[in-house]
């Protein structure tokens, strides 16, 4: 029996400029790895036979979200994401879906860029980048 989750269960919700959490899953094809990470601080002394470290401060994660460009829908990526650049809003990432008890990762992020991009004979896409502001909550569940 397989223990692996299908990405089709994944949900990504992002605050719009009014602060309302919107499910943007249908406009997202990839989201970069998102989780907690700490900067190691070296505490080695002359008495130690090997290097020793403790956890320092939490690293400010950067997340990249990509998908198909859509400027027609009022709740589509162009309408929502283009207004977020330069603001701090919530991203909620539910890698295994939103059924009760499933894990969710949330945080407040500074949205640093939103860029539509295109290539000859290919679909028009967008790239959205955001930087974590504060700590990430990676232990919450629905």
Residues 97-137: tens digit of each pLDDT: 888 899 999 999 999 999 999 999 999 999 999 999 999 99
What are the pLDDT digits (tens) for 15-58? 998 999 999 999 999 999 998 899 999 999 999 999 999 999 99
Q: What is the pLDDT of residue 3?
A: 63
For domain 7-141, say whether CATH 3.30.1370 is its number.
no
Average pLDDT of 75-81? 92
**Among 130, 98, 126, 132, which residue's Cα sits nearest to residue 29?**
126
In whole angstroms, give the CA distance from residue 23 to residue 14: 7
Establish how many alpha carbons lie within 13 A of residue 114's alpha carbon, considering only the half-sphere containing its beta carbon: 17
Q: If DSSP codes are grouped into helix, strand and coil, which group holds residue 129? A: strand
Q: What's the confidence (pLDDT) of residue 1?
A: 44
Supply the pTM of this predicted model: 0.86
Domain boundaries, the chain: 7-141
pLDDT of residue 2 exceeding 70: no
DSSP annotation string for 26-93 = GG-SEE------EEEEE---TT-SS--EEEEEEP--EEEEEEE---SSTTSHHHHHTTTTTSEEEEEE
Hey, is 19 helix, strand or coil?
Answer: coil
Q: What are phi and psi of 92, to 5 degrees?
A: -120, 120
- For the cut 90, the answer to whether the pLDDT of residue 5 exceeds it is no
User: Is the distance from CB of 128 to CB of 64 less than 8 angstroms?
Assistant: yes
The dihedrals phi and psi of 7, each to the nearest 5 degrees, come to: -60, -20
């Amino acid at each position: 029996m397989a223990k692996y989750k299908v990405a089709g269960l994944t949900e990504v919700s992002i605050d719009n400029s009014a602060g309302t959490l919107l499910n943007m899953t249908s406009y997202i094809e990839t989201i970069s790895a998102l989780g907690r990470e700490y900067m190691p601080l070296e505490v080695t002394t002359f008495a130690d036979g090997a290097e020793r470290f403790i956890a320092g401060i939490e690293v400010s994660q950067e997340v990249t979200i990509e998908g198909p460009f859509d400027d027609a829908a009022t709740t589509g990526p162009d309408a929502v994401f283009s207004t977020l650049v330069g603001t701090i809003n919530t991203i909620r990432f539910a890698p295994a879906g939103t059924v009760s008890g499933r894990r969710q990762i949330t945080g407040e992020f500074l949205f640093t860029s939103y860029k539509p991009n295109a290539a000859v004979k290919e679909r028009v896409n967008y790239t959205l980048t955001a930087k974590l502001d504060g700590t990430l909550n990676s232990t919450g569940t629905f």
